[in-house]
Structure 1
Amino acid sequence: MGNRRRVTLGVLTLLAAAVLAGGFASAQFAGDSVRGDPSVEQAFRSGDTGQVVGERDNITIVGTDSTAFVGDEGSGARQLAELVAFAPDGSIYYYDNTHTRYWDVDPVEGTNATVEYVYADHLTPEDCGSESVCTRNGVERVNLTTGETTHVYSRITPGKHSTRWHDVDRIDDERLLVADIDRDRTYIVNATTGIVEWEWDAQSQFDPESGGPYPDDWTHINDVEAVEIDGREAVMVSIRNHDQVAFIDLERGYMEDWTLGADDDHSVLYEQHNPDFIPAERGGPAVLVADSERGRVVEYQRVDGGWERSWVWADQRMTWPRDADRLPNGHTLITDSNGDRVFEIDQEGEIVWTADVGFPYESERLGTGDESEGGESADSLGLESNEPPAASGEGDLISRLAANLPPSVVNAIAYVLPPWMGIPEILAALTLLVVAPWWLLVEYRLSSYRLSLRTPFTLGRR
């Protein structure tokens, strides 16, 4: 009986290890073993920039937020994040991975292939002055055709190796609107003079006991957009850790009646990213937003002085979306970070184009305006919602299990696990964690050796 048990446990351990090794080897062969899409990097560096994604009208550019390392740590390893543009024929039009992280990407008005993007660089202690760590957050402009890059604006966040700007929007030729996570504020700065011309501080409105941990990551303001409300200049602000999108009148301040969502009211929004405002002339007022921790894209329509959900889209693969843009043709371009993909759905909710990209943060289709600038509201288009069977308790066993877990747990698991680990590899890992120690214990009990707790620690034969 003892031998049969040890053989069974040994076989299960070896099979589980084989599944994990096979999954890792397959990913290595396919070039996607790390989150960061080295296959795109390898294709670009080798000059093989032919078709890597499907054809689509106009250039699609993607900025990625990645924590993966390429190479052996301690011997030239580097963090891999990418700014990659796909040409209309699906080939690689532009590629860059010189920065630690890439965030917001915006087309430059009046150009066909020039964009401005937000980046972050973790600096060395020698560059941080009195601090041991610091991060440069900045904006650069690049002509995707020529590769010419121009510095626009940057600031250093002292004491943190954590990127503190996720979005910067251009207001005019000189002024920028900045989402400043580090100081829980949004502000308008003249990029030429460096003078801050307007500022809204979240502490003027919110209690430090609300939101995230104060002051380390209290509000996590991750997106801003200049909008017009009732003929007045305003700023729409995504306050992620307060689960809400707020509107700030430049002269009168916080517009409480326009707030979408509330702290910890996860039925509306749950740590959202990249809301886009759709004005009345395009079927709004409406807000299209990536409801990240709930694994869906939603849109809310302004009705009788309040917000009503008018559209929702998700599929079984969608894990942690962080951007959605309504295109002029009524399609929606979605960026699914933990799903490692950027894809486009048509008005019927069908996926018509997709690009596998490691941990993307934001994507833009050039020639369609900035974000959802050229698109209409879901209400105006008559879009029908789409949610996967798992959301209603249907589907296979794994889908039903995932549906019953809190969305934050599912997203956390997807965030931590390597992208090459699918359901078989996850089950194999769990089997290995349970069976391998049991097998070792059985082997030890059946062996002629015993551990001694005497000092020094010894292993002796019975």
Structure 2
Amino acid sequence: MFAALRPQSNRIRLIGICLIIILITPAVTSAITYDSSAQSALNEGTITDPANGSTVISTQGYTFQGNTNPKKPARLLAVGEQGNLRWTHDDTVGGSAWFFDVDPLPNGNLLVSSPRDGKTVVFEFNRTTKTRVWQQRFAMEDTHDIDYLGEDRFVIANMREWNESADVSDDRIVIYNRSEDAITWEWTFRNYFSAETDGGYSKDWTHVNDVDPISENRLLLSPRNFDQVIVVDIETKAIVERLGRDGAHDILHEQHNPDWLISESGTPTILVADSENDRVVEYAKLDDEWKRTWTVGTNTLTWPRDADRLPNGNTLIVDSLNHRVVEITPTGEVVWEYYATWGPYDAERIAHGDESNGPTIREMNASGNYPITGSANLTTVSSGGAGVAGWVRTTFTETPLAEPANTIATQWAHITPWIRPVWMTEWDLVFTLASTITATTWLVAELIAARQRFRIIFHRLLR
């Protein structure tokens, strides 16, 4: 019986081997032909209107267990009006770095937040000499944002402040006085939010990624994991404004870097990178309700994490997982673009200072929903265009599976870039996973068949 089955089994094995080879070939080819200098290249994209002065960009890079992947570098860089690279800066002083918030200071230097080795190094960076004017090391694990308040005072978003003994989150906002080397004000999230928010306390409960002073006595906060933006009064510590709510993903979904604008008519407005929804949105408070007045980039952005309104009415957007910074018109046309691998986080036009300082969309009569057009698409892996995520969305659109397919596509676009080797394309990864599944299934089947043959032989020997 075994002899009769052996030719058929051998044919199945041969088919399996051929299938595995076919599936793994694209990844092997990519690895052999990969240009190691290409992924970390810094290139201009579309430039139809020169920028007003330099643009400074922080790239997060990828650091794991204290080591930065050299092919996914973390660094600061400055780009000229025509997309010409002016300088780059990276360092490993005190451990391999992430680079997050970078803000122009009144004196022309930069304020930088750079977590490393389980703490956060904050420093003032001289753009001319490329040196640190001063630095301060905080026992804060992963600080994304610090802003200057004046008079040697800084406000810090302190996430991942886990209280091990009490088993609660102490995530907070603090004001630090550098002259006194002391925290002079503190606001703790668990005093104002239910312990059940975002499913309950965790070591990364709020992931508060941004804090901005919006007046002398008010702070704009972005607790990312709570899907909302809030305004806190420094004196009373009360929450006086709130856009979004926990789990209301149609409003905001794990947003980054909101900016507060006031129109000429006095209308409060929030511009925000709605990251997990792959879009940038603007909300105006009309008749005591926050109403979305502008949406841009749906299915053309991939995990945007910063958006600043410029004085000319355009918006500077950090499109993190397309590894680029784009300046777009109110209707979504790209006029300036720079590709800044790997994983840009923050971008500022130095001439305009920190955050947004331009008109609102309603003031420009440009309310609406717009795609982003005119990109050079040099390394774009847009969730709505080419690539696995785009294919999934297009394939299942207008079908009963559209919603779960969209969720899967979004998660794929946001997670796989961090784990995918730089020499491997999205489709290479798909075929490699299919090859792994095929090989594993075949191995399991062979082990089961071998076990069955052994049992038959063993029982025959006992007779």
- Which bin holds the TM-score, normalised by the shorter protein? 0.7 to 0.9
1:137 to 120, 125, 128: 120
Aligned residue for 1:19? 26
1:339 to partner: Cα distance: 2.4
CA distance in 1 between counterparts of 2:454 and 2:148 reads: 70
For residues 164-201 of structure 1, what are the alpha-carbon distances to aligned partners after superposition, in whole Å with 9 as ceiling and x for unaligned?
21101111141111111124111222112122222211
Equivalent position amino acid for 1:364 in 2: E
2:169 paired with 1:191 = no
User: Given that residues 187 and 198 in structure 1 are in contact (C-alpha distance below 8 angstroms), is that contact kept between their aligned partners in structure 2?
Assistant: yes
2:428 to 425, 429, 442: 425
2:80 to 87, 91, 95: 87
Equivalent position amino acid for 1:82 in 2: R
For residues 4-23 of structure 1, what are the alpha-carbon distances to aligned partners after superposition, in whole Å with 9 as ceiling and x for unaligned?
54443333221221101223
Aligned residue for 1:459? none
Residue aligned with 1:385, SS: strand
For residues 18-53 of structure 1, what are the alpha-carbon distances to aligned partners after superposition, in whole Å with 9 as ceiling and x for unaligned?
101223344444532xxxx3x35xxxxxxxxxx755
After TM superposition, list the pairs within 5 Å mapping 1:407-422 onto structure 2.
407-408=410-411, 410-422=413-425
- Kindly tell me the number of residue pairs found equivalent between the two proteins: 409
Residue aligned with 1:355, SS: strand
User: Given that residues 69 and 78 in structure 1 are in contact (C-alpha distance below 8 angstroms), is that contact kept between their aligned partners in structure 2?
Assistant: no
Aligned residue for 1:206? 193
- Check 1:295–1:233 CA distance in 2 against 1; reply closer, same or farther (3 A cut): same
After TM superposition, list the pairs within 5 Å mapping 1:20-99 onto structure 2.
20-32=27-39, 37=40, 39-40=41-42, 56-57=50-51, 58-68=53-63, 80-99=73-92
Aligned residues with identical type, % of pairs: 30
Aligned residue for 2:376? none
2:270 paired with 1:290 = no
Equivalent position amino acid for 1:279 in 2: I
Give the alignment's TM-score, normalised by structure 1. Answer: 0.78
User: Given that residues 393 and 409 in structure 2 are in contact (C-alpha distance below 8 angstroms), is that contact kept between their aligned partners in structure 1?
Assistant: no
- Check 1:437–1:180 CA distance in 2 against 1; reply closer, same or farther (3 A cut): closer
Aligned residue for 1:236? 220
Aligned residue for 2:316? 333
For residues 384-416 of structure 1, what are the alpha-carbon distances to aligned partners after superposition, in whole Å with 9 as ceiling and x for unaligned?
32258988xx98555345525374464234443
CA distance in 1 between counterparts of 2:361 and 2:334 reads: 17
CA distance in 2 between counterparts of 1:106 and 1:24 reads: 38
- Check 1:177–1:398 CA distance in 2 against 1; reply closer, same or farther (3 A cut): same
1:299 to partner: Cα distance: 1.0
- Check 1:398–1:21 CA distance in 2 against 1; reply closer, same or farther (3 A cut): farther
1:365 to 320, 343, 349: 349
User: Given that residues 246 and 254 in structure 1 are in contact (C-alpha distance below 8 angstroms), is that contact kept between their aligned partners in structure 2?
Assistant: no
Equivalent position amino acid for 1:360 in 2: P
2:308 paired with 1:349 = no
1:107 to 104, 122, 143: 104
2:207 paired with 1:225 = no
Give 5+ residue unaligned stretches, structure 2.
1-7, 162-169, 373-381, 397-404, 456-463
User: Given that residues 101 and 346 in structure 2 are in contact (C-alpha distance below 8 angstroms), is that contact kept between their aligned partners in structure 1?
Assistant: yes
For residues 129-171 of structure 1, what are the alpha-carbon distances to aligned partners after superposition, in whole Å with 9 as ceiling and x for unaligned?
xxxxxx23132112222213212433123xxxxx421101111
For residues 45-93 of structure 1, what are the alpha-carbon distances to aligned partners after superposition, in whole Å with 9 as ceiling and x for unaligned?
xxxxxx75565422121112222579xx89x989841112222343322
Aligned residue for 2:230? 246
Moved more, 421-430 or 236-245: 421-430
Residue aligned with 1:166, SS: coil
Superposition RMSD in Å: 3.5
Aligned residue for 2:399? none
Give 5+ residue unaligned stretches, structure 1.
41-50, 123-134, 158-162, 454-462
Give the alignment's TM-score, normalised by structure 2. Answer: 0.78
- Check 1:360–1:78 CA distance in 2 against 1; reply closer, same or farther (3 A cut): closer
User: Given that residues 263 and 363 in structure 2 are in contact (C-alpha distance below 8 angstroms), is that contact kept between their aligned partners in structure 1?
Assistant: no
- Check 1:201–1:438 CA distance in 2 against 1; reply closer, same or farther (3 A cut): closer
CA distance in 2 between counterparts of 1:308 and 1:261 reads: 11
User: Given that residues 69 and 77 in structure 1 are in contact (C-alpha distance below 8 angstroms), is that contact kept between their aligned partners in structure 2?
Assistant: no
Residue aligned with 2:355, SS: coil
User: Given that residues 225 and 237 in structure 1 are in contact (C-alpha distance below 8 angstroms), is that contact kept between their aligned partners in structure 2?
Assistant: yes
Equivalent position amino acid for 2:125 in 1: V
Aligned residue for 2:143? 165
Equivalent position amino acid for 1:66 in 2: G
Aligned residue for 1:8? 15
- Check 1:452–1:324 CA distance in 2 against 1; reply closer, same or farther (3 A cut): farther
Residue aligned with 2:252, SS: coil
- Check 1:406–1:82 CA distance in 2 against 1; reply closer, same or farther (3 A cut): same
User: Given that residues 145 and 157 in structure 2 are in contact (C-alpha distance below 8 angstroms), is that contact kept between their aligned partners in structure 1?
Assistant: yes
CA distance in 1 between counterparts of 2:23 and 2:81 reads: 43
1:314 to 290, 297, 321: 297
1:377 to partner: Cα distance: 1.1
Aligned residue for 1:153? 136
CA distance in 2 between counterparts of 1:281 and 1:110 reads: 29
Residue aligned with 2:253, SS: coil
- Check 1:411–1:53 CA distance in 2 against 1; reply closer, same or farther (3 A cut): closer
Equivalent position amino acid for 1:425 in 2: D
For residues 82-120 of structure 1, what are the alpha-carbon distances to aligned partners after superposition, in whole Å with 9 as ceiling and x for unaligned?
112222343322212214111111111253xx2111111
CA distance in 1 between counterparts of 2:453 and 2:181 reads: 68
For residues 358-396 of structure 1, what are the alpha-carbon distances to aligned partners after superposition, in whole Å with 9 as ceiling and x for unaligned?
111111122123121x211122122332258988xx985
User: Given that residues 319 and 338 in structure 1 are in contact (C-alpha distance below 8 angstroms), is that contact kept between their aligned partners in structure 2?
Assistant: yes
